[in-house]
Chains A and B, each alone.
Chain A
Amino acid sequence: MKRLLSLSISAAVAAVLSGAARADGETIAVFTKNQTNPFFQAVRLGADSAGKQMNAKVVHYVPTKPDSIPEQMSQIEDVVVTKPNAIVFTPVDYKAMNPGIQKMNAAKIPVVNITDRAEQGQFVTFVGANDYKIGFDTATHLLKAMGGKGGVIILEGVRGSITNADRTRGFNDALKAFPDVKLLASQSANYQRLAALQVMENLMQANREIGGVLAANDAMATGAIEALEAANRKALVIGINGTKEAVDAIKAGKMLATGDYSAFNQGCIGTMAALRQLRGQPVPKEVLFPVMVIDKSNFQPYDIPVDKRQCPKWEDMVKG
């Protein structure tokens, strides 16, 4: 049994080494939060695509337990030992990863912060989207579609996560502009499908008339849609992230819109930024993607499955 184990490990090792042989350029370590959320899969694919384009080796580090702080901390420590040329970094928690960030900085490895803006630490640049503005714009989009009246429900993500804080803040600020719209409830469903479904089912009991649902991500939005369909209730639903699933729902007319969080491009541009830094090319202090609300009118470009997409040109994405 022991022998079997060590054999299997050395086998895996061999596989990786041979896989690594391909890239002859720099090595980029990419940190994402978990292996289960499609969003981060898109980020990883973006990074890979950029790595191919610019002929660099991309290695991914993902906690075995989703969003585990101590594990990402350990992975940072381990990576610092292997000394990659640069790191593309999404903190699992924007506050509680500072010691890890300090370790990377101390090791003089250039770090590009993507997706969630870490509270402290020196970064080459931040690449991401403006969560607040996405929340605000998508919410406004929905409220307009509701004709500025009726009742809405907010499905929050994981309490304490920066994205959730900003997105819900955007939702609420958008609501201020529509005095006739009533906020029926704002509950957390932890960015999870089942949680969203059940919270929605329960809220539908307490609220007879639900005009719209503001979900802080697409998984919760689709969960809400399932709940509504099961109860034969109609409501306009928006989500955030622009995942394939949401695009399909929009095509099918089940979902009103989703805010593009451009996960794939975050992976692309984040990795490119790291490589440009290494290769002495200019990199702006911050790359924020323009907010884009995807609906029936403009979903075509997002309809391509992520693993088929190609990274856009740096110049097209980063003006000036």
Chain B
Amino acid sequence: MPEIPRAGPLAPAAASQPARASVRWSRIPGVAYTLAALCVVFALTSKGFLNPTNLANIGMQSTILLLLALPMTLIILTEGIDLSMGAVLTVASVVLAATVVKTGSPVLALGAALAIGAAFGFANGALTAWVAIPPFVVTLGTMGIAQGLALILTDAQSIVGMPESVTWWYGGFLAGIPVPLLVAVAAYLAMHALLYHTRFGTYVFALGGNPDALRLAGVRGDFYLVGVYALGGLMTGFAGLLLTARMSAGHPTAAIGLEFEAIAAVALGGTSFEKGNGWLFGTVLGVLTVGVLRNGLNLLGIPSAVQVAAIGVLVIGALWVDSLRTPG
């Protein structure tokens, strides 16, 4: 908020303020309660909401968004942003589809998807860290580039004929559990470990919170910044596999605009755009809340127009609650 001096808690002025103890619960964003409330309402009002298949559905439907939102959390922790994810996801998906159709090798195809994702991510990071162009601008640009590529590569046609080895990644089961759920859990655990148990993660917080501290500690922050964006690209590329599997096709506009939903989910999860203040599991909650809302409203057959408005109210409402809870 503009009128509050940016200085924040580190400014000498804070000397007068009593130091608040850091209790995890105090950092739980309003969205957690919203999620709980939604679940109760839907459990009471709609048949089949609590039905295991349906719960699995919610998880599976949220997986792709989660795969974008997790690295997006890290990027936003560095006070950055990535507007290109949706488009990169799309281009990765069509490249994967095209490769698998041409070569018949899913491994090669996945490799290609990961490569193009990582390439875009690296470009975003490099232009941000080394050319010092604001990430918003960089990724707005690469968004257009990726979108154009997807359309040119496919001439706006969908590419079909995915082998079982690809579709398995969305439709298949492992030990009786839908693969996407396993992917989602694995992805979260991996990102959690990365963020909270490695140098990389520590430096992500530092990049957003106090880059000078990093420099004084003799750490090359720029490399890690590029790394964060590259990681985002890589995860996006992998999400391309699930997207392709889900449609058993590559489609040139399938995921346009998904990055905005990812950013919204991250914000819902209580991660702020400043000072590297965020919480990875909050992002999971944010993604699930949107998923549960859509699913529940579908089960109830609520008109689509109401759904659209409801999502907006959710985003604004949850953040409003959070801002009420944080002293001005």
Q: Can you list 25 A-B contacts with CB-CB less than 8 angstroms, sorted by A residue number?
A: A1-B30, A1-B317, A1-B318, A2-B30, A2-B34, A2-B37, A2-B318, A3-B37, A4-B317, A5-B313, A12-B306, A59-B301, A60-B304, A61-B301, A69-B251, A70-B247, A73-B61, A74-B298, A78-B295, A81-B53, A83-B48, A93-B249, A93-B251, A96-B251, A160-B252
> B154 on the interface (CB 8 Å rule)?
yes
- Determine the chain B residues whose CB is within 8 A of the CB of A99 once the complex forms: 167, 170-171, 246-248
Residues of B within 8 A of A (CB): 30, 33-34, 37-38, 40-41, 45-48, 51, 53-54, 57, 60-61, 64, 154-158, 160, 167, 170-171, 243, 246-249, 251-255, 257, 294-308, 310-311, 313-314, 317-318, 320-321, 324
Separation of A63 and B297 alpha carbons in the complex (Å): 12
Interface contact A9-B41, CB-CB below 8 Å: yes
- Determine the chain A residues whose CB is within 8 A of the CB of B311 once the complex forms: 64
Interface of B is mostly: helix
Interface contact B257-A65, CB-CB below 8 Å: yes
Interface contact A159-B30, CB-CB below 8 Å: no
- Determine the chain B residues whose CB is within 8 A of the CB of A78 once the complex forms: 54, 57, 295, 298-299
- Determine the chain B residues whose CB is within 8 A of the CB of A105 once the complex forms: none
User: A9-B296, A69-B254, A96-B251 are known contacts; what are 8 more A-B pairs with Cβ within 8 Å?
Assistant: A16-B300, A67-B253, A74-B57, A75-B298, A77-B61, A78-B295, A82-B46, A95-B249
B85 to chain A, nearest CB (A): 14
Separation of A210 and B246 alpha carbons in the complex (Å): 45
Chain A 68-103: CB-based contact to B (< 8 A → 1; otherwise 0): 111001110111011100000000010111110000
Residues of A within 8 A of B (CB): 1-6, 8-10, 12-13, 16-17, 20, 35, 59-65, 67-70, 73-75, 77-79, 81-83, 93, 95-99, 119, 158-160, 188
B312 to chain A, nearest CB (A): 10
- Determine the chain B residues whose CB is within 8 A of the CB of A9 once the complex forms: 38, 41, 296, 310
Separation of A9 and B37 alpha carbons in the complex (Å): 10
- Determine the chain B residues whose CB is within 8 A of the CB of A20 once the complex forms: 301
Task: Using known A-B contacts A5-B37, A69-B251, A70-B254, determine if residue A61 contacts B298 with beta carbons closer than 8 Å.
Answer: yes
Top 5 A-B pairs ranked by shortest CB distance?
A: A159-B156, A78-B298, A96-B249, A62-B304, A59-B301
Residue of B nearest to A98 (CB): B248
Task: Using known A-B contacts A5-B37, A6-B41, determine if residue A97 contacts B48 with beta carbons closer than 8 Å.
Answer: no
- Determine the chain B residues whose CB is within 8 A of the CB of A68 once the complex forms: 254
Interface contact B299-A74, CB-CB below 8 Å: no
A191 to chain B, nearest CB (A): 13
